[in-house]
Amino acid sequence: MGSPSEYNGSDREGFEKSGSEQNGDAGVGRRDVIRRAAALGLISFPATGFLAACASSGGGGEGKAKAGKKTAQNPLAVNETTQMEFVLFDGGFGKEYAEDAVKIYEKSFPRAKVKFSATQKIQSTLQPRFNQGTPPDLIDNSGAEQMDMGVLVGKDQLADLTPLLDAPSYDDPKRRVRDTLRPGIVEMGQFDGAPVWIMYYAYTVYGVWYSQKALDSLDATYPQTWDEMLAVCAKAKKKGMAGWTYAGKYPYYLPFSLYPMIGKVGGREVLDAIDNLEPNAWRHPAVKACFDAYYELYQKGYVLRGTPGLDHIQSQTAWAEGKALFLPNGSWVENESANVIPQDFDLAVSAPTGIDSSDKMPFGTVWASGGEPFIVPAKATNTAGAMEQLRIMLGEASSKNFTSKVKSLTAYNGGTDGITLTPGLKSGVAALDKAGSNVVNPRLQDWYVQLQKEKIGVSGLGEMMAGRITPAEAIKKIQEFADATAKDTSIKHYKHQ
């Protein structure tokens, strides 16, 4: 999902299908109580003891690496001779940034071999290893075959990353890792309480992407109301350019601009109700207004012809070639489409257009959140090594390296000083500045992957934007899908705290 998880931050190649399972149910057991108490500071463990406790969560613990010597340079007590295995999702961000961080790890622990690999087949490659109790130590769980986070958390298959967050940061021992992260990153890694199961490494700005040059050629500014949006699309159509295109084969890209629009129109509580699977959440007037608005793009012929048959790469290419003006996407698009975006494209992103002045939140309300989810399996052999690799990646040097190479921000709160920002990245930073506190973060794509991708995306929004069902029919179907998910006792459910 880099794209979308892929979504989460870098959808990149191969975000097309969902190999996700649905979330398995799990109660709150003794281990959960101990973990939460530890994270809240109610129980204290020696550093090595806590790591061992995390490592053994989920059962097993056989073959665990012995703890190394804890020092100022090795605060997580990494065993200096134990191999660390790192599997990366090979998507829009590429693998060079991770390989560079691995070199730093190997320099710190010259006797420890790192087994590094990259693949787009995360689930089909790694799920069998989880089942066998032999997972890698560190995984970038992203892409089309992202393993369902809810299932992994619900089945107690992930290590709690609290030791990493409470460790000294890579650059300043007086600051903990958690103190160096962007707002919301730690909370995103939580599902139902204090433990932090996921470290989202990239920081993605979702919204409507366009060429400022193309917009200027229409003598237009980015539209703030829907009437203005329709007027801009009408201008584009007269010049032979469609107003919009999107990944028609994978219409779960549409929420990248649609969800924050719903939040803008109806307020954060509408998105929270949707995430919480509340009855009738999708029947809120703000949802209807936004669905009707998007459907109007189809009705007026403002969507690029053939869009329902395009994948994410094809739609991005058509957009980069000037066949369409607007594209809903995440900030990975600048890197993923670098080979087709013209030099003078002047890439820009904006928060979604609203309906009118009655919207509950101001123009500029944007969806921005952690992307590129990294996890450490509970049964991994070298959990301390995996967390140390993440500690390195969350340092300033690795963060700057990532930003310079892939044109995206990281979870590290900084890392742009001294870097010449690319047009898209510069526009993304400006969008965050404009949003201020008006940043929303829908969790549906993290909590209920199958519902988000296959039901809401493909069966609901995809069918509506192809003109095969009306907005009212789409809302009815989506609400039924959400209700079924809420009633399914085999699925672990989550709610905003």
Query: Looking at the structure, do residues 269 and 389 belong to the same domain, yes or no?
Result: no
Query: Looking at the structure, do residues 448 and 381 belong to the same domain, yes or no?
Result: no
Query: Looking at the structure, do residues 303 and 388 belong to the same domain, yes or no?
Result: no
- For residue 302, being part of any structural domain is answered with yes
Query: Looking at the structure, do residues 178 and 42 belong to the same domain, yes or no?
Result: yes
> Cα 117 to chain center, whole Å?
21
- What SS3 state is found at 379? coil
Distance between CA atoms of residues 378 and 137, nearest Å = 9
Query: Looking at the structure, do residues 238 and 190 belong to the same domain, yes or no?
Result: no
- For residue 492, being part of any structural domain is answered with no
Statement: residue 43 has pLDDT above 50? no
What single DSSP character describes residue 194?
A: S
Domain of 374 in residue numbering reads as 30-204+370-421
Query: Looking at the structure, do residues 87 and 209 belong to the same domain, yes or no?
Result: no
Q: What is the rounded radius of gyration, in angstroms, for the C-alpha atoms of the chain?
A: 22
Q: What is the pLDDT of residues 156-177, one digit of tens each?
A: 999 999 999 999 999 999 999 9
- For residue 304, being part of any structural domain is answered with yes
Question: What was the pLDDT predicted at 313?
Answer: 95
Question: What was the pLDDT predicted at 192?
Answer: 73
Query: Looking at the structure, do residues 376 and 361 belong to the same domain, yes or no?
Result: no
- For residue 8, being part of any structural domain is answered with no
Query: Looking at the structure, do residues 131 and 236 belong to the same domain, yes or no?
Result: no
pTM (whole model) above 0.75: yes
Statement: residue 1 has pLDDT above 80? no
333 within 8 A of 10, measured Cβ to Cβ:
no
Question: What was the pLDDT predicted at 27?
Answer: 37
Hey, what amino acid is at 439?
V
Query: Looking at the structure, do residues 54 and 166 belong to the same domain, yes or no?
Result: yes
Residue positions counted in the chain: 497
- For residue 430, being part of any structural domain is answered with no
Query: Looking at the structure, do residues 153 and 117 belong to the same domain, yes or no?
Result: yes
Q: What is the pLDDT of residues 426-452, one digit of tens each?
A: 999 999 999 999 999 999 988 898 899
Q: Which of 16-25, 77-86, 397-406, 471-480 has the lowest mean pLDDT?
A: 16-25
Spell out where 146-271 has E strands. 199-211, 242-244
Q: How many C-beta atoms lie closer than 10 Å to residue 91's C-beta?
A: 30
Query: Looking at the structure, do residues 220 and 158 belong to the same domain, yes or no?
Result: no
- The CATH number of the domain where 45 resides is what? 3.40.190.10
Provide the number of structural domains found in the chain.
2
Q: Average pLDDT of the chain?
A: 88
More confident residue, 217 or 44: 217
Q: What is the pLDDT of residues 214-242, one digit of tens each?
A: 999 999 999 999 999 999 999 999 999 99
Q: What is the pLDDT of residues 329-381, one digit of tens each?
A: 999 899 899 999 999 999 999 999 999 999 999 999 999 999 899 999 999 99
Statement: residue 396 has pLDDT above 70? yes
- For residue 426, being part of any structural domain is answered with no
- For residue 455, being part of any structural domain is answered with yes
Query: Looking at the structure, do residues 280 and 318 belong to the same domain, yes or no?
Result: yes
What single DSSP character describes residue 412?
A: B
Q: Map tokens 């001779």 to a residue.
A: 81
- For residue 494, being part of any structural domain is answered with no
More confident residue, 23 or 351: 351
Q: What is the pLDDT of residues 405-416, one digit of tens each?
A: 988 899 999 888
